[in-house]
Amino acid sequence: MTVANTFAVVRLLAMTDREKDAEILVLRHQITVLERWLDGVRVRFAGPDRVLLAALLHGLPRGVLRRMRLLVRPDTVLRWHRNLIAGRRAARSRPKCPGRPPTVRLPGCWYPAAGTASGAGGTRAGAVGGCTARCWCPASRRRLQVEVLLACDFLKTVTLTGARMYMLAVIEPHTRRVRVLGATAHPTASWVRQAARNLVMDLQDAGCRARFLIRDRDGKFPESFDAVLADAGIQTVLTGVRMPRMNAVMERWVRTCRRELLDRTFVWNQRHLLHALREFETFYNQHRPHQGIANARPLKPLPSAIIEPNQIAHLNIRRRQRLGGIINEYEHAA
């Protein structure tokens, strides 16, 4: 079919405008006769025919397509072109190696076996890659597991000038405490390595006994980032390919930061972004309640409950605004 269309184009080059107009009129009349004989029966186009018509007609305006005599509607031709583009993108994104991706090996201390498969409080599934799958263990053991975990990730935003800014943040899944390590337009290896050093010093000052840090396979993390953490006794654990649920707590914080801050703020430059992130970090750690830790705050305990009827009837609530009212804090007046 490609060869036939090529010869057809060559033949059209030798024809005059009068001959082309006459052929167009003949073809339009033949289409009218064909529609009369079909009497409402739909014409089935093969795949190559659809590709050719979509490639020739998708660039024409919709009004021009409506004036043309076609056996199908103009919207059908445009739909063929959309399906063609979607199929091309799907073919490019199809993995080159078929089959299931390799299993990620996780540290065994994440899901330690509390007994045998048949004993009380033991695992309910076999070991996979050095760790147990769907392991059940007591709540106290699960808390010990979470206390030694950290999670980090990069998130991106765009300033008013169109510059891309990259931010690096770390969260403690046990307490939900967030540390924003910085923001930069160029996350070089030296910048990321220095951010790791700052994180290690902050953890030592806070007395945090983390042993594992979960991160994705982003190319912005150099080998020196893992080396700095390894010197401090923190082992880096990589998530699976396209498995954001393996770092669910961090991904949830990224979504919260976007919805409550970045999507509602016009960022001028790096200085403005750092100021907004510091304010949101303070709000997130000291005021915002978290359902995962019984509506407590990472750095402040729960306030005492009000049980006096007089106090309930005469509540005095004060509001504190951050970042010009984007973030609001409410508390009882002393």
DSSP-assigned states of every residue in 249-292: HHHHHHHHHHHHTGGG----SHHHHHHHHHHHHHHHHHT--BGG
Which residues lie below 8 Å from residue 282, measured CB to CB, with a gap of 6+? 322
Q: Name all contacts of 178-184 with Cβ < 8 Å and 24+ positions apart.
A: 178/253, 178/281, 178/284, 178/285, 178/298, 179/281, 180/277, 180/278, 180/281, 181/152, 182/274, 183/270, 183/273, 183/274, 183/277, 184/270
- Residue 124, pLDDT score: 37
**Positive or negative CA dihedral for 216, 218, 221, 226?**
positive
Q: Which amino acid is at 138?
A: P
CA–CA–CA angle 172, 177, 179 (5° rounding): 90
pLDDT at 3: 54
235 contact partners, CB below 8 Å, separation of at least 6: 107, 211, 212, 213, 229
Distance CA 117, CA 123 (A): 5
Cβ-based neighbours of 192, under 8 Å, separated by 6 or more: 168, 220, 221, 222, 224, 225
Give CA–CA dist 110/112, Å, rounded: 6
- Helix, strand, coil % (nearest 5) of the chain? 45, 15, 35
CA nearest 265: which of 104, 274, 229, 307? 274
List of the chain residues with pLDDT < 50: 106-137
The pLDDT value given to residue 325: 87
Q: What is the reported pLDDT for 32?
A: 77
Distance (Å, whole) CA 64 – CA 127: 65
Helix segments in 119-184, DSSP class H = 139-147
Is residue 328 within 8 Å of residue 321, measured between CB atoms?
yes
Task: Give the pLDDT score at 94.
Answer: 65
Query: H or E stretch including 332?
Result: strand 327-332
Buried b (16+ CB within 10 A) or exposed e, 245-262: ebbebbbebbeebeebbb
